[in-house]
Amino acid sequence: MSGSIRAIFAAALLVISVASAAAAPITNIVAIGASNTLGWGVRGDEAYPARLQTLLTAKGYKVNVANAGVLFDTTGGMLRRLDMAVPEGTRIVILQPGGNDLRFFGSKEQRAANLDAMTKRLRERRIKVIVFDPVIQPQYYQPDGIHLNAEGHAMFAVKLLPLVIRAIAE
């Protein structure tokens, strides 16, 4: 092949690959939880769902991370609103149960049963589920000792990043 034909061929491949990337579907992700998912006490762009979307986009992923956090929610409330909060077309759900069940007179057993029921319902819909319930170090809390500060949200996003990338690849 002559140099000009190779250049034309290379340019055509570049156009095709750019067009393919542009046409790649957006991966819809829903983060469902309570006030820490909502981002209580921090700016909206500091809440972990927004930070996660920023991290994924920076790595070249086409994603939409919807924030379905609700103030004072429990796993029972999350279970009741699950179908409304997770629309058709969602590929991945991050379940962040928080501590309100135990704070508001729930039991560990009921919390576990609600998480199991949500996971089962989502998997029946062929949605990948990440249950994210880490132990949180004190420096990541606001002065109330309940809600994440901006650094805590950043930590959540960083810890979730490889889990979400793995789920996207599956």
pLDDT, position 23: 61
Domain containing 156: what range? 25-169
Write down the pTM of the prediction.
Answer: 0.85
Count of C-beta atoms within a 10 Å radius of residue 81: 14
Question: pLDDT tens digits, residue range 81-123?
Answer: 999 999 999 999 999 999 999 888 789 999 999 999 999 999 9
Residue type, 114: N
Residue 161 belongs to some domain of the structure: yes
CA distance 22 to 87: 23
Residue 65 belongs to some domain of the structure: yes
Q: Are 32 and 84 in contact (CB under 8 A)?
A: no
Residue 108 belongs to some domain of the structure: yes
Tell me the backbone φ, ψ of residue 130, rounded to 5 degrees. Answer: -120, 110
Residue 112 belongs to some domain of the structure: yes
Residue 15 belongs to some domain of the structure: no
**How many domains is the chain partitioned into structurally?**
1
Give, in degrees to the nearest 5, the angle at Cα 91 between 87 and 96: 80
Residue 9 belongs to some domain of the structure: no
Report the CATH number at residue 71: 3.40.50.1110
CA distance 151 to 156: 9
